[in-house]
């Protein structure tokens, strides 16, 4: 599986190139919904897609955000966030945010590529940075932002039987989104959509 992922994700250099603010990514929250007639300039962000190398296979490391946050409170997400002026590129931003949010040291992280950029309904252009994570690390969660960190077997994500869609009302409009339900973990929205893009990459369903 390691070699399949290395071969099928986009190269790291793609994540390092500057993004054009006025161009739209190939995937977005609007893939299952109607895009508004007017769009805003996208702000750049990056997340780490950490694949932990366990004896039982690769596991996806995810976080659960705290309930008091203004944006995405209580939701499950990848570690990451908006790019700052001092970040050299999306890779640097993803590694910095991962260290800040969960204390995962870069010594344990091998960046192997990226997924397609993803546009969120909140106006971000997110670059997902795919990495392998060597076991033996310890996490220190930012108590203000992160309530919990947990792992989901990659095998679960790659099994089509676990792919769902859900709906919710947002600003008076019923919106559809991808969903993964792993035990009592409800993974939905942009995080689930990016996991679907990882699924497509691994199975060779996208260029």
Residue 145 lies inside a defined structural domain of this protein: yes
Residue 74 lies inside a defined structural domain of this protein: yes
State which H helix or E strand residue 192 sits in: helix 190-202
What's the pLDDT at 22?
65
CATH number for the domain spanning 48: value is 3.90.79.10
Q: How far apart are CA 15 and CA 200, in angstroms?
A: 18
* 3-state percent breakdown (helix, strand, coil) of the chain, nearest 5: 25, 35, 40
DSSP assigned state of 17: S
Residue 183 lies inside a defined structural domain of this protein: no
Residue 58 lies inside a defined structural domain of this protein: yes
For residue 97, which of 127, 122, 74, 72 has the smallest C-alpha distance? 127
The answer to whether residue 8 scores a pLDDT higher than 90 is yes
What is the span of the domain harbouring residue 136?
2-30+44-154
**Cα distances (angstroms) measured from residue 183 to each of 19, 39, 72, 77, 180:** 37, 37, 20, 16, 10
For residue 132, which of 56, 197, 53, 61 has the smallest C-alpha distance? 53
Which residues pair with residue 109 across a beta bridge? 133
For residue 156, which of 180, 126, 191, 140 has the smallest C-alpha distance? 180
Q: What is the pLDDT of residues 138-184, one digit of tens each?
A: 999 998 989 999 999 999 999 999 999 998 877 677 889 999 999 99
Domains in the chain, number? 1
Residue 53 lies inside a defined structural domain of this protein: yes
pTM for the predicted model, two decimal places = 0.93
| Token couple for 164 | 């769902």
What's the pLDDT at 33?
80
Q: How far apart are CA 73 and CA 190, in angstroms?
A: 14
Residue 38 lies inside a defined structural domain of this protein: no
What's the pLDDT at 207?
63
The answer to whether residue 71 scores a pLDDT higher than 70 is no
Within 13 Å of residue 118, how many CA atoms lie on the same side as its CB? 24
For residue 146, which of 96, 179, 191, 99 has the smallest C-alpha distance? 99
Residue 87 lies inside a defined structural domain of this protein: yes
Within 13 Å of residue 163, how many CA atoms lie on the same side as its CB? 13
Residue 49 lies inside a defined structural domain of this protein: yes
CB atoms inside a 10 Å sphere around CB 169: 8
């Amino acid at each position: 599986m390691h070699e399949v992922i290395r071969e099928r994700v986009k190269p790291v250099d793609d994540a390092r190139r500057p993004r054009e603010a006025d161009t739209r990514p190939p995937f977005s929250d609007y893939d299952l919904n109607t895009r508004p007639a007017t769009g805003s300039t996208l702000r750049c962000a990056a997340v780490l897609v950490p694949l932990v190398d366990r004896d039982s296979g690769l596991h996806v490391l995810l976080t659960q955000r705290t309930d008091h946050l203004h944006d995405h409170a209580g939701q499950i997400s990848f570690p990451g966030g908006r790019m700052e002026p001092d970040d050299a590129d999306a890779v640097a931003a993803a590694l910095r945010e991962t260290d800040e949010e969960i204390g995962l040291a870069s010594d344990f992280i091998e960046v192997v590529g990226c997924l397609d950029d993803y546009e969120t309904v909140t106006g971000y252009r997110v670059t997902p940075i795919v990495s392998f994570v060597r076991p033996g690390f310890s996490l220190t969660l930012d108590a203000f932002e992160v309530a919990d960190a947990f792992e989901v077997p990659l095998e679960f994500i790659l099994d089509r039987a676990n792919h769902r869609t859900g709906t919710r009302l947002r600003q008076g409009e019923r919106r559809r989104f991808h969903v993964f339900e792993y035990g009592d973990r409800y993974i939905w929205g942009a995080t689930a959509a990016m996991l679907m893009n990882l699924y497509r990459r691994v199975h060779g369903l996208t260029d």
